[in-house]
Amino acid sequence: MKFPRSTRLHEKTVDYYRFIREHTKETKEFSVTKMCQVLKVSRSGYYDWLKCPMSQRKKKDMQLKEKIRQIYQESRKTYGSPRIHQKLLREGYTIGKKRVERLMQELGIQAVARRKYKATTDSAHSKPVADNYLNRDFTPEKPNKSWVADISVP
């Protein structure tokens, strides 16, 4: 009994097979045999992979990935797996939280936390303020007459 290709092949090998399929189908520039030799995969494995239909779970995962990507984009990349999971449940999908996490990880997406605004200057305070001797005149008459400094707070 043959297992579905997703469980018996390494993801890198599947990527090679996809590459071979794309570049031998359209351009016919290279033969399947030559491409398999260069990529160090078996030719018979490639043909087995072509014949084996995609599993139902893999097809469903592909559909879910598209939906997850859509929800993620609509949320301006702020939704993580818990929110996306809740949204999928509300839309009628039957899916577990761990599956959403796995699919998001495969897509390489995660929530981007927005930084909250933090005021760094408090002008309305009762502390003493240094006198302004320069009055925005930054051209002193002679050297070492005026010294200036800047304190920047992140």
Tell me how many degrees the CA angle 19-20-23 measures, rounded to the nearest 5: 85
The pLDDT tens digits for 87-140 are 999 999 999 999 999 999 999 999 998 888 888 888 888 888 888 877 877 787
Which amino acid type is present at position 69? Answer: R
pLDDT the model gives residue 8 = 62
> Residue range 48-56: average pLDDT?
85
More confident position, 12 or 108 = 108
Q: Is residue 1 very low, low, confident or very high in pLDDT (cuts 50, 70, 90)?
A: very low
> Which of 8-22, 41-55, 118-132: highest mean pLDDT?
41-55
What is the number of alpha carbons within 13 Å of residue 38 lying toward its C-beta? 10
CA nearest neighbour of 113 among 87, 86, 77, 83: 77
C-alpha angle 123-119-83 in degrees, rounded to nearest 5: 165
pLDDT band (50, 70, 90) for residue 14? confident
Within 13 Å and on the Cβ side, how many CA atoms surround 126? 0
Q: Specify the higher pLDDT residue, 148 or 128.
A: 128
In this predicted model, which residue has the larger pLDDT, 152 or 41?
A: 41
Q: What is the pTM of this model?
A: 0.55
What band does 146 get if pLDDT is binned at 50, 70 and 90? confident
In the prediction, which pLDDT does 3 show? Answer: 47
